[in-house]
Chain A
Amino acid sequence: MTRSLFVSLLSALALSGTAHAADGKSLYAANCSRCHGALGNGLPGLAPSLRDAGALGADFYLRTGYMPLDDPQTHPSRTRVLFSEPELRALVRYVASLGNGPPIPHPRWRDANVAAGLTLFTGHCAGCHQIVARGGYVTGARVPALGRATPTQIAEAVRQGPYLLPRFSPKAISDRQLDDLVAYVQYAKHPDDRGGWALGHLGPWPEGMVTWLLAASALVGVCTLLARRVRS
């Protein structure tokens, strides 16, 4: 009984998936064309062309929830993804078909060199993303932390340079180096915190908070306890 229900659910899902796959165009028309134009050429003052974005760009912007954007003037940030998996695939395929953009990269980071990745990250990324990838600030924009970025998204971002991020082609960072870089970012999500509670890996800022809010307040409390009036 349960099994048959499960099977029928699955087939229903599969069916709806194929139904949507054919619908990449209408999804695009409904969600993207207002700013990017009906043919993906972009609209002046609103949004850039998607002709060169490719599957890579579409995959990145849609799976991070950067797009669609309510107001084209706002700074995109990671939000809830609005589409189902089949819808995403359909949209990505459709956007990729608009021009001659790059495919989705598949970093092989599991055996890559974390040490080389750290060097690359320091040289190319730490200035904005902070050395343990906790995000930061650049004049005029906020830089996201990379804790929720998947290996694919990291690779996509490096290759494509979304929003204010510079773009690094294979000439600047080879595919092999990109694997190392991804390996480091993956490492930085859960680095070696042998010192204990990591305070978000933000350094002196939270350390100062702990000094005042925890240590200093605790000891002021101890002082008041110790010096309670003798007479009372």
Chain B
Amino acid sequence: MTRVKDFLIAAVVLAFGRRRPSRARPAAPRVVSAGTPDRRAENVVLGLFAAAALCAAAFIAFYALDRLGSQTQWLGLARGLSFALLAVACMVIARRLVVAEENAHPYPEPEHPDEQQTIEQIVEESGSRFTRRKLIVLAGSGAVGTLGLAALTPAASLGPALDTEQLDRTPWRRGRRLVDDAGQPIAAADIEEESFYTAYPEGASRELLGSPLVVVRLPKPRGIVAFSKICTHAGCAVSLYRKPTFAQTEPRPALVCPCHYSTFDPADGGKVLFGPAGRPLPQLPLFVDGDGNLRAAGGFTGRIGPSWSGVRQR
């Protein structure tokens, strides 16, 4: 019973008691300048702290509730508001409860000439026993530099840096069948005008830059053409095919890359019509096998994917 009473008294004191002024050493002059108390601002801060705690508790509650629609929103709101209320409390403290001081302080010395000279001297004098200073510094730098180079050498293991021939390899070679998304061979007769198809090499990975093709049928006498689906500019998939419904008023057929809108002409060997690509889209020669399916008649007419120094333009 007495404990409860003590507890209540303590709570009341905590809530309503004012701090007794200057019980501490009276002799020392103030460092922080004095100001007048502001009970109202204190009340606001107390209220904000309480609300922030409430929001934080709400976060825990929302987290615990399993079947809450839009849980992310409730969680974000609770946590965000909790931080926001604390931020406002800090603002009130900064502007109302903390004394407004404006102090002046000298900037640090721009430089220390004496120390500079001493340091220089220490370095100079420490080396006075060396007779061939330059040579030794040179040799030392050489040794450290070589060691640095040696330390960097293992970085070459990161990749087959010099084996750029890999960049030329694609799965396409004469006789390789074209297959569709589901892995089925593509019959030449199924390729229709005014449409476009994505094809892959049969029995090879699809996740190589050299694999995906875009196949379209052009009006007679041109027929079916296939191009690498990878843009020669920046390696994105050329996944746009625009074709006119009424050629007399609408733009001509073109393959377009959605990253930087390089636009290629399928009727003219993949020539660049617009955009930043520097060379045409490589074409894959085709033939129709005995079953009427499409097969590669050889490799691409140019290097696939983005260019690098040494790539042949056509």
Direct contact between A and B judged by beta carbons closer than 8 A: yes
**Chain A interface residues toward B at CB < 8 A:** 42, 44-48, 72-73, 119, 123, 126-128, 136-141, 161-169, 171-172, 194-196, 222, 225-226, 228, 230-231
A-B contact pairs, 20 of them (CB 8 A): A46-B248, A123-B239, A127-B239, A127-B256, A128-B258, A137-B261, A138-B242, A138-B256, A139-B242, A139-B273, A140-B242, A140-B251, A161-B243, A163-B250, A166-B243, A168-B195, A172-B192, A194-B70, A226-B94, A230-B100
Indicate whether B36 reaches chain A with its CB closer than 8 angstroms: no
A204 to B156: give the CA distance in the assembly, Å.
35
CB distance from B81 to the nearest CB of A (A): 14
Complex-state Cα separation, A137 to B70, whole angstroms: 33
User: B71-108: contact bitstring with A at CB < 8 Å (1 yes, 0 no)?
Assistant: 01100100000000001000100110000111000000
Tally of A-B Cβ pairs under 8 angstroms: 97
Residues of B in contact (CB 8 Å), total: 40
Q: Which residues of B contact A119 (CB under 8 A)?
A: 181
**B245 close to A127 (CB less than 8 A):** no
- In the bound complex, do residue B273 and residue A164 qualify as a contact, i.e. CB atoms below 8 Å apart? no
**B244 contacts partner chain A, Cβ-Cβ < 8 Å:** yes
Complex contacts, A128 vs chain B, CB 8 Å: 240, 242, 258
Least CB separation from A120: chain B residue: B181
Supposing A139-B254, A171-B192 touch, asked if A123 and B242 sit within 8 A by C-beta, the answer is: no
- B→A interface (CB under 8 Å): 70, 72-73, 76, 87, 91, 94-95, 100-102, 181, 190, 192, 194-198, 237, 239-246, 248-251, 254, 256, 258, 261, 263, 273-275
Contact B240 A172 (CB under 8 A): no
Contact B241 A45 (CB under 8 A): no
Excluding A127-B239, A166-B242, A226-B91, 14 further A-B contacts by CB distance (< 8 Å) are: A127-B237, A127-B256, A128-B242, A140-B242, A166-B195, A167-B192, A169-B192, A169-B195, A172-B195, A194-B70, A196-B70, A225-B91, A230-B101, A231-B102
